[in-house]
Structure 1
Amino acid sequence: MVEGRVTRGTTGANRLRRVDRWITQLPVLRRTHDPFVVDLGYGASARTPLELHHRLSLVRPDVEVLGLEIDPDRVRLASEQLDRWRSHVAAARALRSARANRALRGSYGAGHVSFALGGFEVPAPGNRRASVIRAFNVLRQYDEHEVARAWQLMVARLQPGGVLVEGTCSEVGRVASWVEVTAAGPQSLTISLRLTDLEKPSIVAERLPKVLIHRNVPGERVHELITALDRHWQFNAGLSVYAPSQRWIATVTGLRADGWPVLGRPARWRLGEVTVAWDAVAPLPETGLRRMPRS
């Protein structure tokens, strides 16, 4: 039985590039003997699973991506789009021209992409388990109390050491945030922003994952984090004359100096990212979302 509800399904070119870039550096993707990745709730076109495959294949050429959707019409449409893309690739190869070869080098590889009907139960041929599950802009359209069970269902379909990446982003992907979830529970929160013309980091408040979006109020940890980001961003405004990335690096450095458990290195910060340990932003214990329920 398919677990979940049909969502709006909106998507767009390069909308998920920030989270895809983050997934490429996950140790499980680089080390697993079975680089099987699931794009859950990819929406109304095949675009985001194809983009995901293209980006991950740069670090793991044998990666396989399965796109899952709960709407049968979306699965049919994505499969038709994939068939047309494969025909285009075959035709370009047949031309054997320099122009065609250049186009192919910059194109999305479709040889190891497939689509199927499914939801949070994450069905896969042969009961195969995923190294990574990306579920973006899906739970945003659910109620907060439904998050823990959805996490539990998806995490149960991961390989040992596998990662669920669940979050949301703006329509064009310039503002994004996501939670890293493993069998041990949520591990971290990442905020990723386009720094050019960024007024305040708190713009991410409206794009927080469902588990946190209603917790951006005084007294909650995530509100304290966002307030601290705004404060340091303003304090380091003078560094913008060098580059927005320098201002952001100083912002994250200040955050860490304040005692926030910032993860990762400046190479990630330069991209407009900051990742903090989950315990630093988890909803207050009485909400019941600090840990997933035991199965």
Structure 2
Amino acid sequence: MITRGTTNANRLRRVDRWLTGVHGRLLRAAADPLVVDVGYGASPVTTVELARRLRTVRADVAVVGFEIDPERVAAALPYAGNGLTFARGGFEVPLPAGRSATAIRAFNVLRQYDEDAVPAAWARMCARLAPDGVLVEGTCDELGRRAVWLGIGSDARPRTVTFAARLAGLGRPSELAERLPKALIHRNVPGEPVHAFLTAFDRAWDLHAPLAAFGARQRWLAATATLARDWPVCDGPARRRQGEVTVAWSAVAPRVRVITS
């Protein structure tokens, strides 16, 4: 379905920074790197920014932005060039025959779908990935100050969940619950792993409240280090200093629903 299309310049800077920092090796190793942006919205600005940021890692990377609204595609065409193209398409990712994507970014797209529709959308997109490729699917606020995204493999199975925020404006880590991807947004309730994770994160944040005098970054670093004692945190201090923390999907994945008659 056509998304609302709301977007802003620099909105996806946090996920782009993670993509180039954590998965830059994929771009460097690919023989013919291709990155896809699915559902860029009413303006192509974030796709243009994605291409620019990716080229700091691999100058010859090709970037394709897909939208299902033909009017949005037409509006984006003046921005095409230097390896950046725009075309009509959606979760099927209609790349030319024989081409596969090194990475696919699908941000703020699945939030307006039903939760049951998410696995099929992942599977369709991941079918167009290279064997070692990554799908980055998530949600952020209007200004990109708070975001949560999944790192999904070519088998359509999530590997990681990343929580990211502008620390200066963060009251408590659990405020990021508002930006959970569709696969998790309805699971932030007692008894679900993601709720337990955010509760533990708040507890660690409160434990290190005295460090607030030295800045939110120091408090975040201490809280995430405490969190890592009991949760499978995947990144190190270098990434966490940027207001991120990544955990294994297995630790926060939704519990299987049991349907009773």
TM-score clears 0.5: yes
Which consecutive unaligned segments of at least 5 residues does structure 2 have? none
Instruction: Let me know the Cα RMSD of the aligned residues.
Output: 1.3
Alignment counterpart, residue 197 of structure 1, candidates 146, 161, 169: 169
Whole-angstrom distance in 2 between the partners of 1:73 and 1:234: 48
Whole-angstrom distance in 1 between the partners of 2:97 and 2:227: 46
Q: Could you tell me how far 1:285 is from its partner in structure 2? A: 2.2
Alignment counterpart, residue 247 of structure 2, candidates 268, 276, 279: 276
Whole-angstrom distance in 1 between the partners of 2:102 and 2:258: 29
> Alpha carbons of 1:287 and 1:61: their partners in 2 closer, same or farther (altered >3 Å)?
farther
Identity %: 56
Whole-angstrom distance in 1 between the partners of 2:252 and 2:19: 21
Matched, 1:172 2:172: no
> Alpha carbons of 1:168 and 1:287: their partners in 2 closer, same or farther (altered >3 Å)?
farther
Q: Which residue of the partner structure matches residue 187 of structure 1?
A: 159
Whole-angstrom distance in 2 between the partners of 1:287 and 1:174: 36
Q: Could you tell me how far 1:197 is from its partner in structure 2? A: 2.8
Which consecutive unaligned segments of at least 5 residues does structure 1 have? 84-109, 289-295
Alignment counterpart, residue 11 of structure 2, candidates 15, 19, 34: 15
3-state DSSP of counterpart to 1:260: coil
| Per-residue Cα deviation, 1:96-135 (whole angstroms, up to 9, x for no partner) | xxxxxxxxxxxxxx51110000010001123411000000
Whole-angstrom distance in 2 between the partners of 1:35 and 1:119: 20
Alignment counterpart, residue 41 of structure 2, candidates 40, 43, 47: 43
Matched, 1:221 2:193: yes
Matched, 1:242 2:209: no
The one-letter code sitting in structure 1 at the alignment partner of 2:14 is R
The one-letter code sitting in structure 1 at the alignment partner of 2:105 is R
3-state DSSP of counterpart to 2:168: coil
TM-score norm. by structure 2 comes to 0.95
Q: Which residue of the partner structure matches residue 65 of structure 1?
A: 63
Matched, 1:130 2:108: no
Contact preservation (8 Å) 2:5, 2:40: yes
Whole-angstrom distance in 1 between the partners of 2:61 and 2:122: 23
Q: Which residue of the partner structure matches residue 144 of structure 1?
A: 115
Alignment counterpart, residue 202 of structure 2, candidates 224, 230, 251: 230
Q: Could you tell me how far 1:202 is from its partner in structure 2? A: 1.0
TM-score norm. by structure 1 comes to 0.84
Q: Could you tell me how far 1:191 is from its partner in structure 2? A: 0.4
Whole-angstrom distance in 2 between the partners of 1:69 and 1:186: 24
Q: Which residue of the partner structure matches residue 253 of structure 1?
A: 225
Question: Is the radius of gyration larger for structure 1 or structure 2?
Answer: 1
Structure 1 stretch displaced more, 68-77 or 192-201 = 192-201
Alignment counterpart, residue 52 of structure 1, candidates 40, 50, 59: 50
Whole-angstrom distance in 2 between the partners of 1:139 and 1:174: 19
Q: Could you tell me how far 1:287 is from its partner in structure 2? A: 7.2
The one-letter code sitting in structure 1 at the alignment partner of 2:257 is E
3-state DSSP of counterpart to 2:92: coil
The one-letter code sitting in structure 1 at the alignment partner of 2:193 is R
Q: Could you tell me how far 1:243 is from its partner in structure 2? A: 2.3
Which consecutive segments of 4 or more residues in structure 1 shift more than 3 A?
none
| Per-residue Cα deviation, 1:207-237 (whole angstroms, up to 9, x for no partner) | 1000000000000000011111111111111
Matches within 5 A, 1:81-160: 82=79, 110-160=81-131
Whole-angstrom distance in 2 between the partners of 1:34 and 1:238: 50
